[in-house]
Amino acid sequence: MTLMSSRLGSLIALIFFVWLSIVFGLFIVVRVIFEISLPWQSTLTPTIVGVLRVVLSAVVGVTWLLAWWKLANVYLWRKLRRHD
Amino acid sequence: MDHTVFSGILFCVSFLVTFLTTPLLARMNKRLGVVGTDVHKMDKPRIPEMCGLAVTIGLISSAIIATVALQVEARPIVAFVLCISIAAAVGIADDLGPLSSRVKPALTTLAAVPIVLLGTYSPYMAIPFLGTTRLTIIYPILVIVAIAVLANAINMMNPFNGAMSGTCSVLSLAMIVYLLLLGRSTEMILPSALLGSLLAFHWYNKYPAKAFSGNAGDLSVGAAIGALVVMGRIEVPMLIAMIPHITNAFYLLSSVGGLRERREMPHRPTRLLEDGRIQATEDGKAPITLSRLILAEGALRESEIVNIMIAMTIASSLLGLLTLLLMRP
């Protein structure tokens, strides 16, 4: 029972990490990246800002996925080795 | 009549229809030879496949009663029925003659077409920290992608007896709670019917299973959840509630390097031990799945694995609830 609880606790911690990364990632995208502006004004400025926002938001998205992937790998192999 | 009472009536109707239809479908499919092997049992019993169609039948019956007897607006109900029927048809095609790993998700996108064409969505999406945003052009595309992704994610999360019916029952209940908190009682009707159908089906699908859902049932239930998320405008809380399903699909796809069917994976993530328990394999080439992560700390019985999956879905649904509360003005 204790073993099951500790196993469930670790897995819920993984879910909590994913949730936190989604919420924090959204915060970065909405409050930081969407607020980006350039100090100079030209006809190209709105396009550059738009592209910059999309690219940086995509970087945040890819970082989430890489972090989830890395965490799952580390969790799986560490637990498997320990169980051996 | 109050919509909460409607929801209660449809819960009972779909429960009863699914409860009575599942054994009939199981008998019929066994006679027709539509059976699958329960690979996680020592004696490898042959279990009737495609019985998840009983959930679809339960939902369609509830939808007919909602429009005919209870006079609920027909347009969203028609869109919902078409959506789950198309997904079920794709699932039947896959169960009878396997579809390729690329064709199946592509065909599942068709399930979203009725939702888009009948306009049963709102392009105003609530996003944390941003508030409500208008996504007139992007939203219909998101609907198509979301329904296909969710249907296939549910399909991938059904390796054990009762895993799909148990976790999706939790998701349906979460949807009802979110909609209740948002005061959207009209949108609660169909999730209540879905909960009724899934609980009835779980009775037969739980360990040891007497009926398998099959791709027909999995895709239909996944499309139903996707459609209800869109129609209920609870995208972000449900994205959080579905973290176990979404991460399972992500881990699986990224570890095998793209879309692959189970039969196309020679390296298995788990193996059956002689005492009937299931163990995670140490094969570096085997895909990473949620069940493998659950079993990384040691072998478990099939019913214990499913209980952990259900507990994880309850935890993520509670985080979805927390997100919903944080998003409220």
ipTM over 0.90: no
Per the CB < 8 Å rule, is A15 touching B315? yes
Flag whether B287 is in a domain. Answer: no
Closest CB to A15: pick one of B243, B288, B297. B243
Contact A76/B at CB under 8 A: yes
**pTM attached to this predicted model:** 0.92
Instruction: Name the strand (E) or helix (H) holding B36.
Output: strand B35-37
Residue with tokens 């994205």, as numbered in its chain: B239
Flag whether B280 is in a domain. Answer: no
Instruction: Tell me the chain A residues in contact with residue B129 when contact means C-beta distances shorter than 8 Å.
Output: 26-27, 30-31
Predicted confidence at residue B259, as pLDDT, reads: 66
Flag whether B313 is in a domain. Answer: yes
Per the CB < 8 Å rule, is B288 touching A4? no
> pLDDT per residue over B34-71, tens digit each?
999 998 999 999 999 999 999 999 999 999 998 887 77
For residue B91, give Cα distances in angstroms to B84, B196, B207. Answer: 10, 21, 23
Closest CB to A26: pick one of B128, B292, B311. B128
* Neighbouring C-beta atoms of residue B323, cutoff 10 Å: 21
d(CA B259, CA B272) in angstroms, rounded, equals 25
Per the CB < 8 Å rule, is B250 touching A68? yes
Q: Provide long-range contacts, Cβ within 8 A and 24+ apart, for B36-41.
A: B36/B212, B36/B214, B38/B161, B38/B208, B38/B209, B38/B212, B39/B272, B40/B160, B40/B161, B40/B272, B40/B278, B40/B302, B41/B208, B41/B272, B41/B276
Predicted confidence at residue B123, as pLDDT, reads: 85
d(CA B208, CA B93) in angstroms, rounded, equals 26
Over residues B105-123, mean pLDDT: 93
A32 pLDDT higher than 90: no
Instruction: Tell me the chain B residues in contact with residue A60 when contact means C-beta distances shorter than 8 Å.
Output: none
For residues B253 and B259, the answer to whether their CB atoms sit within 8 Å is yes
- Total domains in chain A come to 1
Determine the structural domain holding residue A71 and report its residue range: 2-83
- Residue bearing the bigger pLDDT, B326 or B257: B326
Determine the structural domain holding residue B165 and report its residue range: 3-257+303-327
d(CA B280, nearest CA chain A) in Å? 8
- Total domains in chain B come to 1
Predicted confidence at residue A50, as pLDDT, reads: 86
Instruction: Tell me the chain B residues in contact with residue A8 when contact means C-beta distances shorter than 8 Å.
Output: 308, 311-312
- Residue bearing the bigger pLDDT, A27 or B314: B314
Query: Cα–Cα–Cα angle for B161, B264, B98, nearest 5°?
Result: 70
**Chain A to chain B, count of Cβ pairs less than 8 Å apart?**
84
Instruction: Tell me the chain B residues in contact with residue A7 when contact means C-beta distances shorter than 8 Å.
Output: 294, 297, 308
> pLDDT per residue over A35-76, tens digit each?
888 888 888 888 888 888 889 988 988 888 888 888 888 988
Instruction: Tell me the chain B residues in contact with residue A70 when contact means C-beta distances shorter than 8 Å.
Output: none
Mean pLDDT of chain B: 91
